Structure 1
Amino acid sequence: MKSLLKIMLILFCFFASTFIAIKISGLLSIDDIKTWLTVAGEMNGYLVALIVVGLLFLDLFIAVPTLTLIILGGYFLGPYAGGISAMIGLLLAGVTGYLISYKYGNMLFDKLVKNPTERANAIALFQQRGPVVILLSRASPILPEISACMAGMTKMPFKKFIGCWITSTLPYASIAAYAGSISTLENPKPAIYAAIGLTGFFWACWWIFNKNVSRTKAEGSHS
């Protein structure tokens, strides 16, 4: 367990450092993104979709405000085009993170966890609980990228990974894009409620999952 958490912490620090760097530099602020989408919308709707897809894919390498971006995509493109654009961007980010980590992640894994037994245990643990981590990863920024990379590192079967990723991403993108599409500057409440509701739902699921894991461990220790 410690080995698995160590690797996830390293990945978290990497993604968090990109977020901090972006914040300090002032690049990719919410106002900047709004301006880009407004200008693009005046030119061509496809350009707006391309920006949404590109920024969500870029989230794999530098942290961007994913939920806010999807809501803005729905506002500028409508629920269907906004949702599809978000799905494409999130899918590209997840699959790319998985494939890069599948091919090169073993170098980081072997360097951080030198004991073969500990490596095997860490891989087995993520193979067991990884699907739930992926399904609930939208509870927090950065966690989706970490889960995709961990799935690749631990050689989770691609079908299992992509199934969990789509199951988590499809309703998330659809709800956020729809909320953005029915929001206005005068009435931003749908977007606000969607952001709170989605985050609260995933955190509640995490709480239930952790409670069940703790209960299982307690029962196992008494048996």
Structure 2
Amino acid sequence: MRALLKVIVILALLFAATFVLIKSTGLLSVAQIEAWLTAAKDLSPLYVGSIVALLLFADLFIAVPTLTVTILAGYFLGYSYGALSALLGMQLAGCCGYVISRRFGDSVFCFLLKDENKRAEAIASFQRHGFAMILLSRALPILPEVCACLAGMTRMPFLKFISAWSLSTTPYVLIAAYAGSLSSLENPKPAILTAIFMSFFLWCAWFIYHHKNKKVRQNRAEQLINS
């Protein structure tokens, strides 16, 4: 598991570096995104949906405030179209991350873990825990994109990956877009409460998963000792 954690940390730091760069340059702030969507709304809802989808797709390459963009999509486009555009962007980001990493990930994986045994250990760990990791990845920024890349690098079957990604992404998008559709500048409470609730729920799910997994490892260790 340590080898897998090492890869996760390095990839997360690379994604985080883009966030720091954007923050330091003042590019892609929430205020700017809101201004773009406001301007696009005056032209056509199609432009708003396109901007939302492109922003969430770009999250694969640069850190984008995913939850905020999804809530804004619901606010500007309404529940149905907001959810559709956000879901499209996130699905494209996940699939693209998987495909690129599956195609070019071997060299990156070998660079990050030069020891063949550690690479095998990391792959085995992700095969055991990868589905759950993708399922709960929305608990943290950057983690979904890292998991998508790891799924490609470790050659997780695409059907398994897209199932976990969809189960993680779809409820997240539907809830956030609905909260955005109920919110307004005068009443941002639904969006704020939703953001808090989703973060709390996903963190609790991570805690429960980690606790159960720890107990399983302890039981296996005891069985090995007794045998």
Same fold (TM over 0.5): yes
Partner of 2:81: 81
CA RMSD of superposed structures (Å) = 0.8
Partner of 2:151: 151
* Structure 2 CA distance for aligned equivalents of residues 17 and 114 of structure 1: 23
Deviation track 1:52-97 (CA, whole Å, cap 9, x = no partner) reads 0000000000001000000000000000000000100000000000
State the aligned residue count. Answer: 223
Partner of 1:200: 200
Return the TM-score normalized by structure 1. Answer: 0.98
Does residue 167 of structure 2 align to residue 167 of structure 1? yes
* Structure 2 CA distance for aligned equivalents of residues 37 and 111 of structure 1: 40
Does residue 105 of structure 2 align to residue 105 of structure 1? yes
Per-residue deviation, 1:213: 1.1
Per-residue deviation, 1:102: 0.3
Deviation track 1:33-56 (CA, whole Å, cap 9, x = no partner) reads 010000100110000000000000
**What stretches of structure 2 of length at least 5 have no aligned partner?**
none
How many percent of aligned residue pairs carry the same amino acid? Answer: 52
Deviation track 1:10-39 (CA, whole Å, cap 9, x = no partner) reads 101100000000000000000000100001
Per-residue deviation, 1:117: 2.3
Return the TM-score normalized by structure 2. Answer: 0.97
Deviation track 1:181-223 (CA, whole Å, cap 9, x = no partner) reads 0101111110011111111111100000000011112222222
* Structure 1 CA distance for aligned equivalents of residues 207 and 221 of structure 2: 21
* Structure 2 CA distance for aligned equivalents of residues 182 and 120 of structure 1: 48
* Structure 2 CA distance for aligned equivalents of residues 116 and 147 of structure 1: 21
**What stretches of structure 1 of length at least 5 have no aligned partner?**
none
Per-residue deviation, 1:116: 2.1
* Structure 1 CA distance for aligned equivalents of residues 66 and 148 of structure 2: 15
Per-residue deviation, 1:120: 1.5
Does residue 128 of structure 2 align to residue 132 of structure 1? no
Deviation track 1:136-162 (CA, whole Å, cap 9, x = no partner) reads 000010000000000000000000000
Partner of 2:210: 210
